[in-house]
Structure 1
Amino acid sequence: MFLKTIKLKKDQIPDYSEYPFSIPFIRHMNELDVDVPVTFFVGENGAGKSTLLEAIADQIGFNPAGGSTQNYKAYEVHEAESALGEFVKLSWWPKVTNGFFLRAETFYQFASHLDETDMNGYKAYGGKSLHHQSHGESFFSLFQHRFTEQAIYLLDEPESALSPARQLAFLTLLNDLVKAGNVQFIIATHSPILLGFPNAVIYQFDEHGIEQVEYEQTEHYQITSYFLKHREKMLKELFEEDEE
């Protein structure tokens, strides 16, 4: 793999009471090993998954609003800066800068940026403007046509535009790239489907920090599995709580 470890420069953090340093994982994390083809970040909203992913993107040289090194600072999105970036140290062997950072919440702005700058007929995105495709189609066009070997890909909630069937198709694409070698993915996700990718390392973010867990230990798997097996019981319990 290319990226080996992610370290926090904790001696340079000015104040743990200020955001983003107040996020619990920052107080507990020292070094994170990501020396595998696929690493997942999982946890509740606000646990810091996206914050760390944005910091990694910033240190690689990707636009923190989404894109590659070619798009670095080429377009701006409000509040798309990485406040944590300068406090993160990446260890490589070898270092690569080829790749892409998918930031789901600013993908629309990235597509608009392409419309203004792409002079190659959108060859890396399925041959047409991402705005001329549905949200899910545009995501999948990116995955199919833009993702190649010898690269690192950071994906922040890629499932947000994908149906369950498309998520399974993405797993197939991911598997093909991993089998070909020379590719690395770090993915922040809420999807129990994506989390099921074999041999991936899963890091769970919570108020106690970051812990490596097995697939079946994730809250996403446990809640989804329980709901599918006990839907009526779970809904009854939820609705009774609402009435109280």
Structure 2
Amino acid sequence: MPRTRLPIRRVEEYAPEPLPRAQWPGTLAPVQQLLDDGLDLAPVTVLVGDNGVGKSTLVEAMALAFGMGPEGGSTMSGHSTRPSESQLWEHLVLVRELGAAKSGFFLRAETMHGVFTYLEDHPGARPEPVFHERSHGESFLDFVIDRSEWPGLWILDEPESALSFSGCLALIGLLQSIVDTGRGQVVLSTHSPVLAAFPGAAIHEVGEWGIRRADWSDLDLVRNQRAFLESPERYLRHLS
């Protein structure tokens, strides 16, 4: 299997301009740990955790520091509607490997509709699919297929919101092909136990404790969903 030259080998704080820890998002434990200790990235890095713990803040900052638009798209994308991103990216240093690709793609399921409209309004030199003519999940996968031959960094923020069970499996297959052929690196934020099972991924559980390495079978995400599927009535009866 070809070895991927990692577009991001490690993420560290930009020492000359530290982020105040008393100012959001510096108040989040995972952000504090990233800034204090740095974070090494693998060819495939998966971040999991509950809502609001800082997963999207971390991957968004990596994407912006790499030169991608905050609402998704490729490096140097000019797509933006309503700025809402944190300034964390301005305080990060991305440690690269020599000769690694400088291109990349940031996929956020909730904003891809706007990205597809931007692509239609600003067509490139080569023809590409009309993504709006496909379903949400199909267009998401079509985008990955269409860009899969380009080497670089793939950052995905909770893509399962666009995908079915089979769609999640298809996405893993597409991304694994990109990594296995040495064309790219993947950083993935997810609530999906299916996507978290990405073969060979370095899994980091994100929460009020900060960031910790974890095995798939030990994730709260996996234990909770397994328990629900075994006995959904135990959970649902408390909702009424």
TM superposition score normalised by structure 1: 0.88
1:23-55 CA-to-partner distances (Å, cap 9, x unmatched) read 121223321110x22110111111111111111
Q: How many percent identity over aligned positions? A: 34
Q: CA RMSD in A?
A: 1.9
| Match in the other structure for 2:92 | 88
Q: Which runs of 5+ in 2 are unaligned?
A: none
Cα drift, residue 122 of structure 1: 4.3
Q: How far apart in 2 are the matches of 1:140 and 1:83?
A: 30
Q: Is the 8 A contact 1:55 1:85 kept in 2?
A: yes
Secondary structure at 1:144 match in 2: helix
| Match in the other structure for 2:151 | 150
Structure with bigger helix share is 1
Cα drift, residue 242 of structure 1: 4.0
Distance verdict in 2 for CA 1:228–1:83, change over 3 Å = same
Q: Which has the higher contact order (CA 8 A, sep 6+)?
A: 2
Q: Is the 8 A contact 1:58 1:82 kept in 2?
A: no
Q: Is the 8 A contact 2:45 2:201 kept in 1?
A: yes
Cα drift, residue 199 of structure 1: 1.2
Distance verdict in 2 for CA 1:122–1:132, change over 3 Å = farther
Distance verdict in 2 for CA 1:216–1:11, change over 3 Å = farther
Q: Which runs of 5+ in 1 are unaligned?
A: none
Correspondent of 2:29 among 6, 9, 24: 24
Q: Is the 8 A contact 2:25 2:86 kept in 1?
A: no
Secondary structure at 2:79 match in 1: coil
Q: How far apart in 2 are the matches of 1:122 and 1:11?
A: 44
Secondary structure at 1:193 match in 2: helix
Correspondent of 1:78 among 57, 77, 82: 82
> Which shifted more, 186-195 or 114-123?
114-123
TM superposition score normalised by structure 2: 0.89
Quick check: 1:229 aligned with 2:224? no
User: What amino acid maps onto 2:38 in structure 1?
Assistant: E
Cα drift, residue 16 of structure 1: 2.2
Structure 1 residues 1-244: aligned runs within 5 Å: 1-2=5-6, 3-9=8-14, 12-29=17-34, 30-34=37-41, 36-71=42-77, 74-94=78-98, 95-120=100-125, 122-123=127-128, 127=129, 129-232=130-233, 234-235=234-235, 238-239=236-237, 241-242=238-239
User: What amino acid maps onto 2:146 in structure 1?
Assistant: H
1:184-205 CA-to-partner distances (Å, cap 9, x unmatched) read 0000011100111121001111
Q: How many residues align?
A: 232
Cα drift, residue 81 of structure 1: 3.5
Cα drift, residue 8 of structure 1: 2.2
